[in-house]
Amino acid sequence: WLVGYLMRIQQQLLVEQREAQQKLAEHAATDERRRIAREVHDVIAHSLSVTLLHVTGARRGLQEDRDIDEAVEALEQAERLGRQA
């Protein structure tokens, strides 16, 4: 009787341990997904900010009737950054 009881307790403990390990693995995966999402967000936000600076510079250059080549270069840089993001 005692041996059977102890075996059931051991089996229950093994089940609980597996469940705890599964929860830890799920938690770690969720944390990693969040970290990656933050990193992607930061990279894209930075690229968009720099792209906006290039586009603004090109617009101002064209408004002030400055060198069109400079405006084209700024737009090309903005285009490259947009493709990299």
pLDDT in tens, 4-24: 999 999 999 999 999 999 999
Q: Please state whether 66 falls in left (phi above 0), alpha (psi between -120 and 50) or beta.
A: beta
C-alpha closest to that of 60 among 70, 50, 48: 70
Q: Provide the domain count of the chain.
A: 1
pLDDT above 80: residue 85:
no
Give the structural domain span for 26.
2-84
Question: pTM to 2 decimals?
Answer: 0.61
pLDDT digits 0-9 by tens, 23-75: 999 999 999 999 999 999 999 999 889 988 888 888 888 888 777 888 888 88
